[in-house]
Every structure is written in C-alpha cells, then in structure tokens.
Amino acid sequence: MRGVLAALLAAGLTLVTGAAGPQDDVGEAARAGQWQLAALRLPEAWRTATGEGVLVAVLDTGVDARHPDLRGTVIQGPDLTRAGKGPRARHGTAMASLIAGRGHGENHRSGVLGVAPAAKVLSVRVTLENGDPRRGRRHLGRDALAKGIRYAADHGADVISMSLGGGSGSWEGSASEEEAVQYAIGKGCVLVASAGNDGASTNRKNFPAAYPGVIAVGAVDRRLKVAPFSNRQHYVSVVAPGADIVTADPGESYVVSDGTSSAAAMVAGVAALIRAAHPGMSPYHVRMAIELGTRRRPADGYSPAYGHGVVSAAGALREAARLDATARGAARAGTAPASRTPVVAAMVGLALAMSARVLLRRRRRP
C-alpha cells in the first residue's frame, strides 16, 4: 500500500487505477495519502458534525456521480457551458470528493474521505477542463458562473464552492458575477473560492475569490507553509492544504495534484460542517467562525499570504458554537430580536459595498 502511495506522490498528476495493483490497495493508498485529515483536525470535528442535511453546490466542470467514493452523494444540476459533452469531468469530481467523499469498502475505509462526508453535492457545470480546446471561446456559456451561482442559491444550496478563476469576465471581474454573489449571500449561501495559482509569477487578482463576501482560500503544504503557487492578495481569507492532495478521478481512479482549488473545496466542506451544526447561522458568522478558528495565525493577525491563518475544522466549529451561544444569550436577554441586528447591519454594509463596486465597474465600461 505504501509503495502505491509513494508512486502516486512521485508521479504528480498521474492517474492511478486498479491496473496499478489490487483495487483495494489503491483505495487504501488514496486514504493513506490524505494528510489533510489530520491537518484540518477532522477526527475531532466529526464528533460534532459530519455535514448531514447540508447541500454544497460545486460550480465546476461537472461531477462523476458513479465514482465509488461519491455514490449516493451527487445531485446533477444543469450544464451552463452550452459546450456539450467533452473530456471527463475530472476537476469537478476531484473537488466534490474533497468536500463530500464517503470512501468505499468495509466501513468506508478505502478511497477519499471528504471534509463533510454526510453532505450532499449539487453539481453545476460552469466551466470546461483545462485541456479542453473549447475553454477559451468566450461565446460558450456566457455568464455561466453568474447563472450557476443564482441557480445554486435558488435550489437550496447552503454552501457554494467555486474552485475556479477568471470567471466569464476579465481579471477585473464582471458586474453580473458580482451581482450574483450579492444575490446568493442575501439568500443565506456561504460562498467559497480559490485564491489563485499564479503567486510565483504574476500574482493576479483572481475572481470570483476577490468579490466581497466570498471566502477566498490560499494553499499550504504539508509543513503548513504557504505554497509558492498560492496567490498573495488582500482578499485572501484563510489558507488550507493544497499540495500533494489525493482526489477522486472519473471512473474508479485517483489523482494527486497541487492547487488552491483543493484548499477552497476543503474550506467549503468546513462551512458545511458549521451549517450542519448550526443551520441558521448567517454567512457572515460562518466566515467569522472559520477565520477565528484558524491556527498558525500571522503575528499581526493577518497577512496577504496566510490570510487569518490555517483552517482548523475543529477550531471553526468551536468558534461557531461560541458565536451561536452569544447570539442566543443576547436574544434571551432581549438585547436584539434573535440577535439579528449585528448580522443585518453587517449584511447591509456588505450589500452597499458590493453595489458601489458594481456601479463603478459599469461606469468604467465604454
């Protein structure tokens, strides 16, 4: 089993199937390679919540619901790319497995285990695989991401995971996407996105991560050091494991890769755990719990590289419980109806900031 895992890690983005050895060995090697389970302190977190009753929308390249680790987990939503069938849904399947993978075999001891293994995934195809030659054609799926965000919000998503970058607009983003983000937050959705993978080169601002209200996630390696490729920007909220990450691949396969995509998917899973434990918690307070529950926090409390620190699922759940208890105590004391006043004020302020940004962007356009 360890030999299979060593081969996986040495090969980088190499597909591993049953042909490499007994399928049980491959599944066990995949589980053994999930170093993030301990780094995120998931065994402790799962004593509180596993994501049951939560729907996470995966806005990506599509999800293979037949993978052994995802069977019974995926709800297939629309294909908004208008591209028709193409290469297998590798990226979306990988992200879904990190969020809600359940493993397989006896006692689910083989395969990929997601951060919120009891959650459900709503798959909405909004982009194409990196290797798809049609990816650069702007007329395909115009405003697909904006439409996907709205679709997810209207179809019961508690969390929206967006491990993608650039969006349908330019590096300055697009008004339609920003308005969709505002709409989803208003519906109570927690939005999570990858910070970007060009930190070692252009370090460009990445959308949808840079939209106000989105939890932008950078990547750390096994030593919990920020990965060189992870974007360093003022919008980075937190960091999570994003190097040497084993994920499901279409069919019965697994793959190892690096990227802030994986880190964002894991934080979406943490948000799902919080929503399972505290169903009525606002997006503002879910984000606050994730940021307050981090470890390895920067000396000054925040940095563009680490954000507020390395995500801890157990820490986030503890902070969520504290925030929830404070709100309930305030409600009992009669200081605010259900303690919603600070939440409403925060959301109104966020909405105003978003509206201003959209208006300015529209004025700049010819």
Which residues form the catalytic set?
60, 91, 261
Q: Are 160 and 189 in contact (CB under 8 A)?
A: yes
Rounded to whole angstroms, the Cα distance separating 140 from 82 reads 6
Q: Are 102 and 70 in contact (CB under 8 A)?
A: yes
Helix, strand, coil percent content, the chain, rounded in steps of 5: 40, 15, 45
Residue partners of 155: CB distance under 8 A and separation at least 6: 57, 77, 122
Q: Are 295 and 240 in contact (CB under 8 A)?
A: no
| DSSP-assigned states of every residue in 126-175 | -S--TT-TTTT-TTTTTTHHHHHHHHHHHTT-SEEEE---S-SSBTTB-H
Q: Are 193 and 222 in contact (CB under 8 A)?
A: no
Task: Give the residue from 25, 148, 158 showing the smallest Cα distance to 99.
Answer: 158
DSSP reduced 3-state for 90: helix
Backbone angles phi and psi of 256, in degrees to 5? -115, 135
Rounded to whole angstroms, the Cα distance separating 179 from 183 reads 6
Give the type of residue at 43: P
